[in-house]
Amino acid sequence: MLCRLLCMLNVIFVLCGATVRADDAKMVTRTQDLIYGRKFGTALTMDLFAPQQNANGAAIVWCVSGGWFSAHEAINSGFIGEYLQRGYTVFAVVHGSQPKYTIPEVLVDMHRAVRYIRSRAADLKIDPERIGITGGSAGGHLSLMQGTAGDLGNPDAKDPVDRYSSRVQAVACFFPPTDFLNYGKPGEIALGRGVLKNFRAPFDFHEFDKSVNAFVPVTDEAKILEIGRQISPVNHVSADDPPTLIMHGDADLLVPIQQAEIIVNKLKEAHVPAELVVKKGASHGWPDMLKDVATLADWFDKHLKPGSRPADTKTK
């Protein structure tokens, strides 16, 4: 199963890596396994790719995720070569992976990663007000969740990192799930069911029961559906969301293009700059996908340059 998850998305990146080996280039340095947080005694890590020339001061968070499976081995620099060539500092974030962790737990990791990057902005030589986020499939879902549900942090948090904002200033991603309760059509539930029946682990929701001091499965259907609403980006759209670009194949059977259409329409209704680029005849990933990273990079160029972002997407 894990091999299938990786093949859905990361095989494209492996093929790309044969063309562009950004981490081997003299113009880029790679710092591996930066610890951005810990959970239950386990370190959460990211890799830093920093251009040594022509750095533009902006950062891109890359959600290393396919089927909500994440691993350091899945980091392939070919996917981010275009960003590095344009001067972006890239953070390849590995989150707590399924089958051990569920989507709500993964979302906490992504918030933490953005907060960590922002808290270290000076040392990392980036502008904390120019952070974009990208990914494909599950990584696209996580990108949109960060774009629509990022927050300003808790000023009273004991951990200084948690006082920082987890918001981003631009989103550009590939074929993301956006509404698990209306998946492909109204009322179609995909919480490890239906089209996503082979992805049960990320939706195997648990909650902590103090009476037994243990995590127990969530079995109440109403509660399961409420969690499904909360992890669906379409339900968090608001007028202060960052500019968002989605590229999606119209022959995608795993993540229907309807998922991109509904959130782009909702973003536009909220007067948020949003675009959908349709890949005719493409399914869930395509052979020349590397070329299309340039379109995402153009979006970041447009919205992450100094003075280009709307005032209401700034952090505090």
CATH number at residue 309: 3.40.50.1820
> Binning pLDDT at 50, 70 and 90, where does residue 15 land?
very low
Element (H, E) at 143: helix 138-149
Burial of 14 (0-12, 13-18, 19+ CB in 10 A): middle
Give the number of domains in the chain. 1
Contact between 116 and 128 under an 8 Å Cβ cutoff? The reply is no
Nearest Cα neighbor of 49 from 97, 82, 7, 6 is 82
The model's pLDDT over 55-90, given as tens digits with 9 standing for 90+, comes to 999 999 999 999 999 999 999 888 999 999 999 999
Find the helix packing angle between 138-149 and 103-119, rounded to 10°: 60
Query: What is the DSSP pairing of strand 214-217 with strand 206-209?
Result: antiparallel
Model confidence, pTM:
0.91
pLDDT of residue 83: 97
Asked if residue 25 has pLDDT above 90, the reply is no
The answer to whether residue 153 is domain-embedded is: yes
Task: Please say whether the beta carbons of 238 and 150 come within 8 A.
Answer: no
Assess contact for 56 and 86: CB atoms under 8 A. Answer: yes
Interior angle at CA 91, CA 171 and CA 21, nearest 5 = 105
Any domain includes 92: yes
Of 131, 160, 152, 154, nearest to 143 (Cα)? 131
CA atoms within 13 A on the CB side of 232: 22
d(CA 202, CA 283): 22
Average pLDDT of every residue of the chain:
91
**Cβ contacts of 208 within 8 Å, gap of 6 or more:** 214, 215, 216
Give the separation between CA 316 and CA 314, rounded to whole angstroms.
7
Domain presence at residue 289 = yes
Does the residue 221 lie in any domain?
no
- Residue 227: inside a domain, yes or no? no
Range(s) of the domain holding residue 304? 2-177+233-313
Question: Is 105 among the domain residues?
Answer: yes
Q: Which two tokens stand for residue 241?
A: 């969301």
261 and 247 Cβ atoms separated by less than 8 Å: no
pLDDT surpasses 80 at 140:
yes
Q: Which amino acid, one-letter code, is at 134?
A: T
Does a structural domain hold residue 215? no
Single-letter amino acid, residue 192: G
Backbone phi and psi for residue 71, each to the nearest 5 degrees, phi listed first: -155, 150
276 pairs with which residues across the strands?
Answer: 246
Count other Cβ atoms within 10 Å, centred on residue 24. Answer: 10
pLDDT at position 5 is 42
Residues of the chain with pLDDT > 70: what percent? 89
Q: Taking a C-beta distance cutoff of 8 angstroms, is the pair 126, 59 a contact?
A: yes
Residue 204 located in a structural domain? no
For the stretch 195-216, pLDDT in tens is 999 999 999 999 999 999 999 9
Query: If 0-12 CB within 10 Å is exposed, 13-18 middle and 19+ buried, where does residue 108 land?
Result: middle
Helices (H), 186-245: 221-230
Contact by Cβ (8 Å): 165, 150: yes
